[in-house]
Amino acid sequence: MTITFYYSPQSSAGRIRLTLAELGVPHEAVRVDLRAGDQKKPEFLALNPNGQVPTLVIDGTPIFESVAIQIALGERYGVEKGLWPAPGSPEQLMALTWIIWGQVNLTSALFRYIKNTSDWFPKEQQDAKQAEAAMTEARGLLRILDGRLDGRQYVTGERCTLVDLDLASVLGWGLQAAKIDISELKNLKGWLGRIMERPAVKAVMAEG
Ligand SMILES: N[C@@H](CCC(=O)N[C@@H](CS)C(=O)NCC(=O)O)C(=O)O
């Protein structure tokens, strides 16, 4: 099996970089220069018509959307490594639920807040009311995740899976960018601390 991973540093591709490192999956990494617009060139658009990273090509078949990539890698390589639940198990249902919740709800609310407040985006397109609504939503979602972690070490139970790594990657970026303090969310804080201690997480973070 051959895997080509198209990425850019400090982007959502970081989630996939961590997953590939945790799973120890051999692959070729191809850096895409987003500033130069390489992601909008015809040869890249043929792989991902959205012109975005991360994009993966598995044995000639392109796959995009980070959550789809996580699930595909989890199913192929994660089960034997204990990083993705076995097909048909109750844990697999939980894994699918929470990894997609993270993208559709949490990432979306954090991104909406950042889009309406950060200097990275044009000021004239920002709206304080939308920012406030997104922050209220993000805080509510963080409380839901904190509740999910009450009495559990990890999101699907006692074992760390790609779901935890994916959610932690989103939060590692999002909490900092949105300046959200989670010190009162004790379960969430403890869980994030456990994930940050993982050797693959440390190694990927050290690479920058
Ligand atoms: N929903 C996509 C979002 C991917 C995305 O937003 N990628 C950004 C980098 S963080 C990108 O490639 N932007 C370049 C562009 O849109 O031109 C995913 O989760 O994979």
Q: What is the pLDDT of residues 184-200, one digit of tens each?
A: 999 999 999 999 999 99
Q: Are 45 and 73 in contact (CB under 8 A)?
A: no
* C-alpha 51 – ligand 1 centre gap (Å): 8
pLDDT digits (tens, 9 = 90+) for 50-61: 999 999 999 999
Q: What's the mean pLDDT when you consider all of the chain? A: 96
Pocket mutation for ligand 1, best pick of 16, 35, 48, 53 (most atoms within 8 Å of C-beta): 53
pLDDT digits (tens, 9 = 90+) for 92-142: 999 999 999 999 999 999 999 999 999 999 999 999 999 999 999 999 999
Rounded Cα distance, 52 and 136, in Å: 28
Side chain identity at 192, as an amino acid letter? Answer: L
Say if ligand 1 is within 6 A of residue 65 CB. Answer: yes
Return the structure tokens found at 157. Answer: 């139970």
* Helix or strand run (H / E) with residue 61: strand 61-64
Q: What is the pLDDT of residue 18?
A: 94
Residue range(s) occupied by CATH 3.40.30.10 in the chain? 3-81
Say if ligand 1 is within 6 A of residue 39 CB. Answer: yes
Rounded Cα distance, 151 and 70, in Å: 26
Residue 176 binned pLDDT confidence (cut-offs 50, 70, 90): very high
* C-alpha 117 – ligand 1 centre gap (Å): 19
Rounded Cα distance, 50 and 46, in Å: 9
Q: What is the pLDDT of residue 205?
A: 83
Q: Are 135 and 157 in contact (CB under 8 A)?
A: no
Residue 10 confidence (pLDDT) above 90: no
* C-alpha 53 – ligand 1 centre gap (Å): 5
Of 70, 80, 67, 61, nearest to 106 (Cα)?
67
Q: Residue 175: CA atoms inside 13 Å, Cβ hemisphere, count? A: 17
Average pLDDT of 38-54?
98
**Closest ligand 1 atom, CA of 32?**
12
Return the structure tokens found at 197. Answer: 């201690």
Nearest residue CA, atom 1 of ligand 1? Answer: 65
Residue 207 confidence (pLDDT) above 90: no
Percent pLDDT > 70 in the chain is 100
Rounded Cα distance, 159 and 153, in Å: 7
Pick the CATH number of 90-198 from 3.30.70.1520, 1.10.8.100, 1.10.3720.10, 1.20.1050.10: 1.20.1050.10
Q: Are 22 and 84 in contact (CB under 8 A)?
A: no
Q: What is the pLDDT of residue 151?
A: 96
Listed in sequence order, the residues at least 6 apart from 53 whose beta carbon sits closer than 8 Å to its beta carbon are: 6, 7, 8, 11, 12, 13, 32, 34, 39
Q: What is the pLDDT of residue 189?
A: 97
Average pLDDT of 157-165?
96
**Closest ligand 1 atom, CA of 11?**
10
Give the angle 93-97-100 at the CA atoms, nearest 5°. Answer: 140
Q: What is the pLDDT of residue 1?
A: 81
CATH classification of 3-81 is 3.55.40.20, yes or no?
Answer: no
Residue 208 confidence (pLDDT) above 80: no
**Closest ligand 1 atom, CA of 54?**
20
pLDDT digits (tens, 9 = 90+) for 66-84: 999 999 999 999 999 999 9
**Closest ligand 1 atom, CA of 12?**
10
Higher pLDDT, 207 or 185: 185
Residue range(s) occupied by CATH 1.20.1050.10 in the chain? 90-198
